[in-house]
Amino acid sequence: MKLEQGLVYIKDVVGGSENSVKDGVLTVDVEGLKAHLLEDPKVKAVEVDFAKPGDHTRIVPVKDVIEPRFNFDRVNGFPGMTVKYNECGNGRVNVLRGAAVVTIGDAVGFQEGVIDMWGEGALWTPFSKTYNIVVDITPIDGVDPHEHETIVRMAGLRAGTYVGLAAENATVDETKVWELGPAKEESEKYPDLPKVAYVQMTISQGLLHDVYMYGVDVKEIIPTWFHPNEELDSAIVSGNCVAACDKITTYQHQTNPLTEDLYEQHGKTINYIGNILSPELTTLDGKFRNCDYTAKLCEQLGADGVIVSEEGYGNPDSDLVMICKRLENRGIKTALVTDECSGWDGTSQPLTDTAPEAVAVVSSGNVSKVIELEPADKVLGNLKAAETVAGGWAGCVGDDGSLKVELNAVIGATSEIGYHNASVKLY
Amino acid sequence: MLVVTNNPLLCSEPNALFVDGSFRDVLVKVRDLVYSGYELVTHPLFASLGMMFSPYRTVVLGESCGRASDYEMELVENAIVTYDQATEGRVRFAEYDEDYAWMDRSLYQSALEDQGLVLNRY
């Protein structure tokens, strides 16, 4: 597969009467966007606002983040979700790099997180650096939480595609080509390099805990191999809204840095043999089945090494460790990427489960770390929601609008695929 | 099949073992049953920190085979440790209890669908 991404660097966003980019300034047809989203008869109201890096703006509760794009060589949109199925991963796509559609709104009372565009909060979320088109979607009355989640998810994706229309005729600043041939060909090219696969675990357990690939609810599938380009070309969509810090937003799927880094090393230090989607189920039988199946796929593909990334916290820790054990027991070297829940002082047991085979573990941060966020000049969404997002607690919102929360509450703060700002400092 | 729950929406579920107590009390009850030989069908914990603060939890057990599984005993003990750690120092926020009950039931139903065929044997 060969995917050619034309990156259009966005340096500002304004409202206007068309979708276009000129000299890095993205113009969004706000009224057109609203009208487009209101075409869904289940959407009652849409509000659109902008949040730019450095603005004293707080966005809460965030549902998802989407990168706006325009596909030239396939049906434009999210195949299987917002448009009919088309294979993702080939052809040309223009990307509004630096812009993001951020959806907000309450589906149930407790959920999702905070994006601060300035100050301490901005240090912790990668989406403080993007020019955000914030879309607040209100469904019609009487929908249940399942429907509500679907309406907001679909509206966010459609907004991403609508804003992405601006990329069609935009001047491309940089072109990236992602190309990986059939495993046999790549192995012939690099016979001496170790074969490395990437296992991507995704929360797959039900309402607000789902992920979709080509519109298929992945809790319904057994683990499957896929080409890395498919994810980079919008085949995977987030449907989970419960753990802000380590939720993999749709944006982070579209730009998965583990995939990009593996590509970077392909042909140099490794032979990258593709990705495996491994759903994290809630039943033990399902976990055993998927973990066995994931390890078997890696073995059958001839992997010498595997990188495994987790999504979520709690019962997925068991999957992470089981996959690691099964791979190591097959003689496949395994590295894990996960975050830690190590308590406010960072000294508690970081994962629910452990194993002696887990000898190479990359931590993306302690989700329990407490941070203090000063009051915002402007709040998009509902500040009260901060009390009930993961990481917030009763009384964490001060009278002046300040916030005291765990990193849990901050979108993408401890991303387990590495799309985040936290890093390690040696003393 | 045994449904250990403190969720009022599930108290009349067939095979429900209602625990009149907290999320942690459910975990402790599950631990006791696992030690006595009941098989774990669903993991005792949710998949996200957001749900860790739910006042309600439902865990599905299989039948008692009279012999406790080492793996499951360790798993349920670790679940209690993790729960204590994640909720330590937190002031409970009661406003959304109803939503949590609804979510717990929804995730329980998804688990049943996931394991429908297997559960039929119980």
DSSP per-residue string spanning A83-121: B-----SSEEEEEEETEEEEEE--SSSS--EEEESSHHH
- How far is the C-alpha of A259 from the C-alpha of A23, rounded, in Å? 30
Asked if A237 contacts A203 with a C-beta cutoff of 8 angstroms, the reply is no
pLDDT at A388: 65
Least CB–CB distance from B85: residue in A245, A343, A394: A343
| A256-310 per-position pLDDT tens digit | 999 999 999 999 999 999 999 999 999 999 999 999 999 999 999 999 999 999 9
Q: Is A410 helix (H, G, I), strand (E, B) or coil?
A: strand
pLDDT at A389: 61
pLDDT at B94: 78
**Look-up: residue for tokens 């039900």?**
A206
**Chain B CB contacts of A207 below 8 Å:** 103, 106-107, 110
Would you tell me how many other CB atoms lie within 10 Å of the CB of residue A347? 9
pLDDT band at A392 (very low <50, low <70, confident <90, very high): low
Tokens (6 digits) for A145: 């939480």
- How far is the C-alpha of A101 from the C-alpha of A134, rounded, in Å? 6
Q: In whole angstroms, what separates CA A381 from the centre of its chain? A: 20
**A412, pLDDT greater than 90:** yes
| A142-163 per-position pLDDT tens digit | 998 889 999 999 999 999 999 9
* Per-range mean pLDDT, top range of A326-330, B52-56, B96-100: A326-330
**A139, pLDDT greater than 90:** yes
**A391, pLDDT greater than 70:** no
pLDDT at A107: 75
pLDDT band at A390 (very low <50, low <70, confident <90, very high): low
pLDDT at A348: 81
* Per-range mean pLDDT, top range of A206-210, B5-9, B115-119: B5-9
- How far is the C-alpha of A33 from the C-alpha of A160, rounded, in Å? 10
DSSP bridge pairs for A309: A200, A337
Write out the residue range of the structural domain in which residue B111 sits. Answer: 2-119
Residues of B with CB under 8 A from a CB of A: 40-53, 60, 72, 75, 78-79, 81-82, 85-86, 88-93, 95-96, 98-100, 102-103, 106-107, 109-111, 114-115, 118
**A101, pLDDT greater than 90:** yes
Please give the ipTM for the structure prediction: 0.90
- Calculate the CA dihedral of residues B56, B62, B66, B70 and round it to 10 degrees: -70
Instruction: Give phi and psi for A226, each to the nearest 5.
Output: -145, 160
Mean pLDDT of the region A175-196:
96
- How far is the C-alpha of A31 from the C-alpha of A388, rounded, in Å? 32
Task: Report the residue of B34, B42, B48 to disrupt the A interface, i.e. the one with the largest count of A CBs within 10 Å.
Answer: B48
**A379, pLDDT greater than 50:** yes
Size of interface A-B (CB pairs under 8 A): 150
Asked if A22 contacts A11 with a C-beta cutoff of 8 angstroms, the reply is no
pLDDT at A357: 95
Establish whether A241 is a catalytic residue. Answer: yes
- How far is the C-alpha of A155 from the C-alpha of A46, rounded, in Å? 10
**Chain B CB contacts of A245 below 8 Å:** 49
Percentage with pLDDT > 90 across chain A: 80
Q: B8: cis peptide before it, omega within 30°? A: no
Would you tell me how many other CB atoms lie within 10 Å of the CB of residue B116? 9
- CA A383-A386-A390 angle, to 5 degrees, is 165
Strands A113-116 and A57-66, sheet pairing? antiparallel
Would you tell me how many other CB atoms lie within 10 Å of the CB of residue A140? 14
Range of lowest pLDDT (A167-176, A329-338, A371-380): A371-380
**A426, pLDDT greater than 90:** no
Q: In whole angstroms, what separates CA A229 from the centre of its chain? A: 15
Three-state SS sequence of chain B = CEEEECCHHHCCCCCEEECCCCHHHHHHHHHHHHHCCEEECECCCCCCHHHHCCCCCEEEEEEECCCCCHHHHHHHHHHHHHHHHHHCCCCCCHHHHHHHHHHHHHHHHHHHHHCHHHHCCC
- How far is the C-alpha of A124 from the C-alpha of A126, rounded, in Å? 7
Domain count along chain B: 1
Three-state SS sequence of A293-329 = HHHHHHHHCCCCEEEEECCCCCCHHHHHHHHHHHHHH
- How far is the C-alpha of A104 from the C-alpha of A418, rounded, in Å? 23
Asked if A284 contacts B114 with a C-beta cutoff of 8 angstroms, the reply is no
Mean pLDDT of the region A379-396:
70
Q: Is the model more confident about A97 or about A373?
A: A97
| A234-266 per-position pLDDT tens digit | 999 999 877 789 999 999 999 999 999 999 999
User: Amino acid letter at A130?
Assistant: T
What's chain A's Rg over C-alpha atoms? 21
Mean pLDDT of the region A213-238:
97
Q: Do B47 and A393 touch (CB under 8 A)?
A: no
pLDDT at A386: 64
Task: Report the residue of B1, B49, B99 to disrupt the A interface, i.e. the one with the largest count of A CBs within 10 Å.
Answer: B49
CA distance to partner chain B, nearest, from residue A385 (Å)? 11
Least CB–CB distance from A280: residue in B42, B47, B50: B47
Which of A39, A60, A38, A58 lies closest to A47, judged by CA?
A: A38
Question: Domain map of chain A by residue range?
Answer: 2-409
Question: What are the start-end ranges of the H helices in A135-224?
Answer: 145-164, 183-189
Tokens (6 digits) for A53: 């890096």
Q: In whole angstroms, what separates CA A403 from the centre of its chain? A: 24
Least CB–CB distance from B47: residue in A203, A349, A395: A203
pLDDT band at A77 (very low <50, low <70, confident <90, very high): very high
Q: Do B41 and A285 touch (CB under 8 A)?
A: yes
pLDDT at B116: 67
Percentage with pLDDT > 70 across chain A: 96
- Calculate the CA dihedral of residues A377, A10, A416, A128 and round it to 10 degrees: -10
pLDDT at B63: 87
pLDDT at A110: 65
Range of lowest pLDDT (A91-105, A167-181, B57-71): B57-71
**A397, pLDDT greater than 90:** no
Q: In whole angstroms, what separates CA B4 from the centre of its chain? A: 6
**B122, pLDDT greater than 50:** no
Q: Is A343 on the interface with B (CB under 8 A)?
A: yes
**Chain A CB contacts of B103 below 8 Å:** 108, 145, 207-208
- Mean model confidence pLDDT for chain A: 93
**Chain A CB contacts of B92 below 8 Å:** 394
Q: Is the model more confident about A414 or about B48?
A: A414
pLDDT band at A53 (very low <50, low <70, confident <90, very high): very high
- CA A89-A303-A191 angle, to 5 degrees, is 85
Tokens (6 digits) for A316: 């997925």
Give the containing element (helix H, strand E) for A405.
strand A403-406
Which chain A residue has the Cα nearest residue B80?
A352
Strands A99-104 and A57-66, sheet pairing? antiparallel
